[in-house]
């Protein structure tokens, strides 16, 4: 069995091509040119319906959606925003972009927010929380919402990598005040770039719509929120983070693919996880009870092994044909908090650091067949056997 290419994307559904051809013929690429039913508007309606929320606003990236969410919450300058210490550098960056201060909390070895540290940090004058469901791992949303609701702290869900994940039957991204998703190529829906925010809060979405670049009366193309829009007319800056009709044409036909991609991704993930968990060295943390995952990658921890052997394992897997990234050992990794030197405040996170030094990351596209997943499993297990079975030489 030859190894699959783990970075190739799926083809974009053929329906996108006819729509793109139509757009190229008409030249109608700007979302606000058509009087109604522009592709971006239809995308917003379809996405809101698919997730079961009232409002959606499509923008240029998930980072833009996170930035606009914080702006739309109307936080004062230098407001403190609590985020997990394990996330992508774009998340603290969006906080800084919104003139706020990122405050990090600990993440456990199961990649989920450490609730004791989260609760402790909440008392540090926190004005808002971004729960980043990193790599699609859901933290305990019941506990997080209870802690935040009790203090009247709004929660933004960074669901960039969680499209299709559910928590006790609810869609991730619909539990906090706002949910943000990405259409960047490595996410479940691939448009190269793009993002969307969803909410049931009319006033919040009106503010976000205007700031995303709905200048003058373009907000009229966002449905019947006249009162909310009238309240904010001319009162907010325009950041122009809009999405193009071309991107919407690429995204829309992929919405129907979500259930298949989720089911196949979970099948592949669970198959590979079973093979890795059968070894004494590799451990895939269990999902939380109530969480149904939609993975397009797998994370596992190396158990009780010294740094040098972990590094050898990464090299051996690569030599055998599978790229394994060990978060904390790869240089300048954008998901290692100690590389976020742009933060105004730094805090050491011993638990998160320990996890990052042993957590491995492997892409696992939903399009892989079970036989291809087995070939990947064989390589990872063989790399572990080659590196970890040598008897250790002690004291010599
Ligand atoms: C990809 C990703 C982002 C950033 O998304 P963009 O659309 O590239 O801005 C943010 N958070 C997480 C967890 C991500 O995986």
Give residue-wise pLDDT tens across range 136-159. Answer: 999 999 999 999 999 999 999 999
360 contacts 326 by C-beta, under 8 angstroms: yes
Residue 251 sits in the same domain as residue 264 = no
Residue 229 sits in the same domain as residue 264 = no
For ligand 1, atom 2, which residue shows the shortest CA distance?
A: 160
pLDDT of 271: 98
Residue 115 sits in the same domain as residue 224 = yes
Confidence of residue 2 (pLDDT cuts 50, 70, 90): confident
What contacts 136, CB < 8 A, 6 or more positions away? Answer: 161, 162, 165, 293, 294, 295, 296, 297
Average pLDDT of 90-101?
Answer: 98
pLDDT of 1: 63
| Ligand 1 atom with minimal separation from the 161 CA | 15
Is it the case that residue 396 has pLDDT exceeding 50?
no
pLDDT of 391: 54
- Compute, in angstroms, the gap from residue 63 CA to the centroid of ligand 1: 6
Average pLDDT of 302-331?
Answer: 95
- Compute, in angstroms, the gap from residue 186 CA to the centroid of ligand 1: 9
pLDDT of 284: 98
Give residue-wise pLDDT tens across range 23-40. Answer: 999 999 999 999 999 999
Question: Torsion over CA of 348, 349, 351 and 354, rounded to 10 degrees?
Answer: -60
Q: Domain boundary residue among 255, 288, 303?
A: 255
Average pLDDT of 312-320?
Answer: 97
pLDDT of 18: 95
360 contacts 314 by C-beta, under 8 angstroms: yes
| Widest distance between CA atoms in the chain | 78
Give residue-wise pLDDT tens across range 64-83. Answer: 999 999 999 999 999 999 99
Complete edge-to-edge strand list for the sheet that includes strand 195-199: 55-59, 195-199, 178-182, 155-158, 126-132, 80-84, 101-105
- Compute, in angstroms, the gap from residue 366 CA to the centroid of ligand 1: 19
Q: Select from 234, 237, 207 the least CA-distant residue to 222.
A: 207
Average pLDDT of 287-299?
Answer: 97
Complete edge-to-edge strand list for the sheet that includes strand 359-363: 282-283, 297-302, 359-363, 325-326
* Ligand 1 interacting residues, C-beta cut-off 6 A: 61-63, 87-88, 90-91, 132, 134, 158, 160-161, 182, 184, 195
Confidence of residue 394 (pLDDT cuts 50, 70, 90): low
> Of all residues in the chain, what percent carry a pLDDT higher than 90?
94
Q: Select from 332, 325, 335 the least CA-distant residue to 299.
A: 325
pLDDT of 336: 97
- For residue 173, tell me if it sits in a domain: yes
C-alpha distances in Å from residue 190, one per residue of 181, 195, 253, 258: 11, 10, 11, 11
Give the number of other Cβ atoms within 10 Å of residue 303's Cβ. 12
Q: Select from 120, 94, 93, 124 the least CA-distant residue to 106.
A: 120
Residue 94 sits in the same domain as residue 229 = yes
Whole-model pTM: value is: 0.96
Looking at the structure of the chain, the number of domains it has is: 2
Average pLDDT of 228-253?
Answer: 97
Give the tokens for residue 344.
């105004």
Give the tokens for residue 382.
């063989």
Average pLDDT of 252-281?
Answer: 97
- For residue 174, tell me if it sits in a domain: yes
Confidence of residue 390 (pLDDT cuts 50, 70, 90): low
Confidence of residue 9 (pLDDT cuts 50, 70, 90): confident
Average pLDDT of 271-289?
Answer: 97
Is it the case that residue 8 has pLDDT exceeding 90?
no
- For residue 57, tell me if it sits in a domain: yes
**What's the rounded Cα separation, in Å, for the pair 232 and 238?**
12
- For residue 1, tell me if it sits in a domain: no
For ligand 1, atom 6, which residue shows the shortest CA distance?
A: 62
Confidence of residue 392 (pLDDT cuts 50, 70, 90): low
Q: Domain boundary residue among 231, 255, 279?
A: 255
In this structure, what CATH number is given to the domain that contains residue 276? 3.90.1150.10
Average pLDDT of 225-229?
Answer: 89
194 contacts 247 by C-beta, under 8 angstroms: yes
- Compute, in angstroms, the gap from residue 292 CA to the centroid of ligand 1: 20
- For residue 59, tell me if it sits in a domain: yes
368 contacts 268 by C-beta, under 8 angstroms: yes
- For residue 7, tell me if it sits in a domain: no
Give residue-wise pLDDT tens across range 325-350. Answer: 999 998 999 999 999 999 999 999 99
- For residue 4, tell me if it sits in a domain: no
Question: Domain range spanning residue 25?
Answer: 15-255
Query: What is the bridge-based pairing of β-strands 80-84 and 126-132?
Result: parallel
Q: Domain boundary residue among 234, 255, 276?
A: 255
Residue 46 sits in the same domain as residue 186 = yes
- For residue 179, tell me if it sits in a domain: yes
Residue 92 sits in the same domain as residue 196 = yes
129 contacts 148 by C-beta, under 8 angstroms: yes
| Ligand 1 atom with minimal separation from the 61 CA | 7
Give residue-wise pLDDT tens across range 161-183. Answer: 999 999 999 999 999 999 999 99
Is it the case that residue 258 has pLDDT exceeding 80?
yes
> Of all residues in the chain, what percent carry a pLDDT higher than 70?
98
**What's the rounded Cα separation, in Å, for the pair 137 and 114?**
13
pLDDT of 226: 86
* Residue among 90, 172, 195, 325 whose CB has most ligand 1 atoms within 8 A, to mutate: 90
| Ligand 1 atom with minimal separation from the 182 CA | 7
């Amino acid at each position: 069995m030859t190894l699959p290419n783990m970075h190739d994307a799926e083809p974009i559904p053929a329906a996108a091509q006819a729509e793109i051809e139509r757009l190229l013929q008409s030249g109608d690429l700007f979302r606000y040119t058509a009087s109604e039913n522009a592709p971006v508007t239809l995308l917003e309606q379809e996405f809101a319906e698919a997730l079961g929320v009232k409002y959606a606003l499509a923008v240029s990236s998930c980072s833009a959606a996170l930035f606009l969410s914080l702006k739309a919450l109307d936080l004062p300058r230098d407001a403190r925003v609590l985020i997990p210490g394990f996330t992508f550098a774009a998340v603290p960056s969006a906080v800084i972009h919104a003139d706020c201060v990122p405050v990090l909390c600990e993440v456990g070895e199961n990649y989920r927010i450490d609730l004791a540290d989260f609760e402790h940090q909440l008392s540090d004058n926190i004005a808002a929380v971004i729960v980043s469901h990193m790599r699609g791992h859901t933290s305990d949303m019941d506990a997080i919402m209870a802690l935040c609701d009790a203090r009247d702290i709004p929660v933004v869900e960074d669901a960039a990598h969680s499209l299709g994940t559910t928590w006790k039957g609810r869609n991730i991204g619909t539990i906090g005040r706002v949910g943000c998703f990405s259409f960047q190529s490595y996410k479940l829906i691939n448009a190269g770039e793009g993002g969307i925010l969803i909410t049931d809060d009319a006033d919040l979405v009106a503010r976000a719509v205007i700031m995303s670049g709905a200048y003058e009366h373009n907000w009229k193309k966002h449905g019947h929120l006249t009162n909310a829009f009238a309240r904010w007319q001319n009162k907010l800056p325009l950041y122009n983070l809009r999405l193009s009709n071309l991107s919407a044409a690429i995204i829309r036909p992929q919405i129907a693919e979500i259930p298949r991609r989720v089911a196949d991704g979970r099948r592949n993930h669970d198959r590979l996880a079973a093979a890795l968990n059968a070894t004494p060295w590799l451990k895939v943390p269990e999902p939380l009870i109530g969480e149904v995952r939609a993975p397009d990658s797998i994370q596992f921890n190396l158990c009780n092994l010294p740094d040098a052997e972990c590094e050898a394992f990464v090299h051996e897997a690569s030599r055998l044909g599978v790229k394994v990234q060990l978060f904390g050992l790869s240089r300048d990794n954008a998901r290692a908090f100690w590389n976020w030197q742009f933060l105004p405040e730094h805090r050491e996170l011993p638990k998160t650091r320990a996890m990052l030094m042993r957590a491995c990351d492997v892409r696992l596209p939903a399009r892989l067949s079970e036989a291809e997943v087995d070939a990947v499993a064989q390589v990872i297990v063989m790399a572990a056997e080659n590196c970890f079975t040598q008897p250790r030489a002690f004291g010599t």
